Amino acid sequence: MTNKEFINQLEAGNEALFQASEMQVEAFFNSKPTKEALVEHFSGRCANEYMNMVEVAQRLLEIAPTGDRKMIKLLARQVLDEAAHFDLVAKVLERITGKVFDVEAMLKNEQQGGGAKGARILEEMDKEDRLALHLYQFIAEGRAARVWQRMSEVCEDEVIASTYAKIAQDEGVHREFGRIGLEQFIANEADKTRALELADQIRYELYKVSCMNCVEVPAARQLCVDTYGPQFLN
Ligand SMILES: [Fe+2]
Ligand SMILES: [Fe+2]
């Protein structure tokens, strides 16, 4: 199997997680969440964009001395995009609450643990682990692209819907950065074995985040159990 074929197979393996996440976000918005529930939901997302910005900026600093000019440009673009997303989600929150977004309060909340978020997975990875970085981009950014797109279709607020349609497009671009990185960093069978194991872990972590940030959907859980195995029962 060529590297490209292997990466396509990894991508096909993400599909159940992506579908489950779409079902969960749709169920959350269909449940007609209260203002408080919306504030909590978007506060978590806002902190997640902020953390993605910081974590990718750190990877950029790690990678700059390697002189990998292509990846340097891609990560710099991602940092700018995540900064823009952070700003956009803060504006969504300001629209819901009618108050100025309080970044200090967000950071304080994060220091005390904060809510479940995908970027925590990236934060916990070894900063020099390129395979892990690009796999995270490939799976988490790919999931974000699908979830935000679905959300923009089911959310009744037009400003939020159009904001998230834009964010979803960027996340799809970041997923492709992950693909480019994986093509570089999956070189042999050992890399492939590790990529499959790590992909399973990342998918499981992201599924748990989705359950906490959205709502539980039995059919979504069943899809993941059938596809990935019984660890998704818990
Ligand atoms: Fe983002
Ligand atoms: Fe992103």
What domains, with CATH codes, occur in the chain?
A: 3-229 (1.20.910.10)
Residue 108 Cα to ligand 1 midpoint, Å, equals 21
Which bound ligand lies closest to the C-alpha atom of 75? 2
Q: 15-66, pLDDT tens digit by residue?
A: 999 999 999 999 999 999 999 999 999 999 999 999 999 999 999 999 999 9
Q: Which ligand does the CA of 84 lie closest to?
A: 1
Q: Is 116's pLDDT higher than 90? A: no
Q: How far, in Å, from the CA of 199 to the mean position of ligand 2?
A: 17
Question: What mean pLDDT comes out for the span 215-223?
Answer: 95
User: For 219, what's the count of Cα atoms within 13 Å in the CB-facing half-sphere?
Assistant: 6
Q: How confident is the model at residue 72 (pLDDT cuts 50, 70, 90)?
A: very high
Number of the ligand closest to the Cα of 122: 2
Neighbours of ion ligand 2 (CB under 5 A): 141, 171, 174
In this prediction the pTM is 0.96
Q: Kindly write down the DSSP assignment for every residue of the chain, as one continuous string.
A: --HHHHHHHHHHHHHHHHHHHHHHHHHHHHT---HHHHHHHHHHHHHHHHHHHHHHHHHHHHHGGGT-HHHHHHHHHHHHHHHHHHHHHHHHHHHHHSS---HHHHHHHHHTT-S--THHHHHHS-TT-HHHHHHHIIIIIHHHHHHHHHHHHH-S-HHHHHHHHHHHHHHHHHHHHHHHHHHHH--SHHHHHHHHHHHHHHHHHHHHHHHHHS---HHHHHHHHHHH-GGGG-
Q: How confident is the model at residue 189 (pLDDT cuts 50, 70, 90)?
A: very high
- Is 90 exceeded by the pLDDT of residue 114? no
115: pLDDT strictly greater than 90: no
pLDDT at 97: 96
What confidence score (pLDDT) does residue 19 get?
98
With the C-alpha atoms ordered 75, 49, 157, 210, is the resulting torsion angle positive or negative?
A: positive
State residue 89's pLDDT score.
96
Q: Which residues of 100-113 are buried (b: 16+ CB within 10 A; e: fewer)?
A: ebeeeebeeeeeee
Give the rounded percent of residues in the chain with a pLDDT score beyond 70: 100
105 Cβ neighbours under 8 A, 6+ residues apart: none
